[in-house]
Amino acid sequence: MHIPETGRSREEIMQALEAYKAGDLPWKSGRVMAYVYDPGREVYDTARDAYMMFLSESGLDPTTFPSAMRLEREVVRMIINLVRGDEEVVGNMTSGGTESILLAMKTARDWARATRPEITAPEMILPRTAHPSFHKACVYFGIKPVIVGFDPVTFRADVKAMEAAINENTIILVGSAPGYAQGVVDPIEDIAALAEKHALWCHVDGCVGGIHLSFMRKMGYDTPPFDFSIPGVTTISADMHKFGYAPKNASIIMYRNKELRKHQFFACIQTTTYALINPTVMSTKTAGPMAGSWATLNMLGESGYQKIVREVQEATDRLVAGVNAIEGLRVLGKPDMCLFSFTSDEINLFQVADQMHRRGWYIQPQFSTELSPYNLHITVNHSSVNLTEALLDDLRASVDMVRNSTDQIPIATVREQVNALLTANPENATETILAMGGISGTELPESMAMINTVLECLPDPLAEDLLIGYLNDLFQ
């Protein structure tokens, strides 16, 4: 494809873009149980308009656009107050949870360089339930990830295992509030106390749930503690574009004080260009997400968020009970908020996910670990509240269809085939395994059941290599 010789009309451009979206999931339907958080039409429209009002204003230089700095400061302070930070707590807006986590880990590394220069090979201790962004941070910043287990019943981090893993190179402990996969909050008080005892950095990943959990706490729900009211918590990440219901890309990274946060910032005057000072990873960035977040917070207010939380939690309770009532399915752990997962010992759930997709739903596959079975994940947000019974009806039908199908994919059989291929010809098995999963060319597959089954049966490093190779082919 080349740049057109002459410009196209606005109408033609809009029609083309609408056509591009034909294969996208219908996120406004409330049937996409991941990725999208819909506050309702009125809030969405207001936040969109606020976003577009500040589309061209840049967050790079506050002396040029002080409005961007004001928006950021006000949004950040509202969330700091929500997670019970005092006047010493500070923060910045980022492009999303991954950037917030990357910044916290980079800052912790640089803090350790300044305060513990004897450490030349820093390590981070995190449970297997922590988000993949922490692993990305380790790759980017030269930190060794030390993975510990979790309770296979409650899915909470094993704090005793974390303590046993601490050594002279440890700089960071990680806990989740909640862990995305099962919606379970780690024992943050115990992790923070351990960090304080050993003078370590303690990061709480509240990206997906920090805002929702805080409103649950204020409303009197039995919510595990996780915020700045706990001594020893150093940083908290919280995403506005998840259960803050703001437009993407908007997240917040918060620090106990400015002395810690200063290691996040970057400045450079060593070139022929202007003086560069960046609080976050990006330099030029639109102020749109800041304005969209500000508008969402101000339009919903405390009462609006509490109404959403109440309705979402009621829907979650109905869904959890309904899934547990379906023969062959069981919810994993006891979710602390509106995210949960379920597994089965009887049928291939990846085929169930495909059946649900044909009925207009997106339910997210998750793979097994040595302590947990593979499962399907559901994130309940406000747009899904009125679809609880419809989802359960379609899930029952999908389970029955897979159970009674003559085209079942037994995971145990696929695992035997994959292991045989790897044993017979480990260096050249990749193409055969890709073909087995139906992965070829540069097009997205119509069905994911076989691909996910193959990935479930592969060793993690090989599965990751295959995914990288496939993605590398997709983006030309």
- How far, in whole angstroms, is CA 92 from its chain's centroid? 18
Name the helix (H) or strand (E) containing 93.
strand 90-94
Domain that residue 464 falls in: 411-474
| Cβ-based neighbour number of residue 158 at 10 Å | 20
Beta-carbon count within 10 A of 412 CB: 8
By the 10 Å C-beta count (0-12 exposed, 13-18 middle, 19+ buried), 447 is classed as middle
- At 2, which amino acid appears? H
The reported pLDDT for the residue numbered 440 is: 67
pLDDT digits (tens, 9 = 90+) for 6-32: 999 999 999 999 999 988 888 888 999
Q: In this structure, is residue 381 part of a structural domain?
A: no
CA 246 to chain centre: 15
| Gap between the Cα atoms of 384 and 381, Å rounded | 6
The CATH number of the domain where 213 resides is what?
3.40.640.10
> Is residue 366 situated within a structural domain?
no
Angle at 418 between CA 439 and CA 138, to 5 degrees: 75
Q: Are residues 289 and 416 in the same domain?
A: no
Of 295, 325, 355, which one is at a domain's C-terminal end?
A: 295
94 and 241 inside one domain: yes
The H-or-E segment that residue 254 falls in is strand 251-255
How far apart (Å, rounded) are the C-alpha atoms in residues 188 and 20?
44
Q: What is the pLDDT along the chain (476 residues), one digit of tens a residue?
A: 899 999 999 999 999 999 999 888 888 889 999 998 999 999 999 999 999 999 999 988 888 999 999 999 999 999 999 999 999 999 999 999 999 999 999 999 999 999 999 999 999 999 999 999 999 999 999 999 999 999 999 999 999 999 999 999 999 999 999 999 999 999 999 999 999 999 999 999 999 999 999 999 999 999 999 999 999 999 999 999 999 999 999 999 999 999 999 999 999 999 999 999 999 999 999 999 999 999 999 999 999 999 999 999 999 999 999 999 999 999 999 999 999 999 999 999 999 999 999 999 999 999 999 999 999 999 999 999 999 999 999 999 999 999 999 999 999 999 999 899 888 877 777 777 777 777 766 677 778 999 999 999 999 998 998 888 888 888 87
Please indicate, yes or no, if residue 394 is contained in any of the structural domains.
Answer: no
Put residue 32 in one of left, alpha, beta given phi > 0 → left and psi -120 to 50 → alpha. Answer: beta
User: Of the candidates 267, 295, 323, which is a domain's last residue?
Assistant: 295
- In this structure, the answer to whether residues 276 and 415 fall within a common structural domain is no
Please write the tens of the pLDDT for every residue from 58-97: 988 888 999 999 999 999 999 999 999 999 999 999 999 9
Q: Is residue 345 part of a domain?
A: no
Same domain, 210 and 81: yes
Record the pTM: 0.95
- CB 448, CB 365: distance < 8 Å: yes
The verdict on residue 330 lying in a domain is no
Residue 467 is assigned to a structural domain of this protein: yes
Indicate the residue among 277, 295, 313 that finishes a domain: 295
Q: What is the DSSP letter of 183?
A: T
Q: In terms of domains, do 425 and 291 share one? A: no
Q: What total number of domains does the chain contain?
A: 2
Residue carrying the six token digits 């291939």: 348
Q: Name residues whose C-beta falls within 8 Å of residue 414's C-beta, 6 or more positions apart in sequence.
A: 436, 453, 454, 457
**What are the contacts of 217-224 at 24+ separation with CB within 8 A?**
218/302, 218/306, 219/306, 219/309, 219/310, 221/313, 223/185, 223/336, 223/337, 224/177, 224/185, 224/187, 224/188, 224/336
Q: Determine the 3-state secondary structure of 463 from DSSP.
A: helix
Task: Check residue 269 and give its pLDDT.
Answer: 95
| In a domain? residue 133 | yes
Q: Is 222 exposed, middle or buried (0-12, 13-18, 19+ CB in 10 A)?
A: exposed
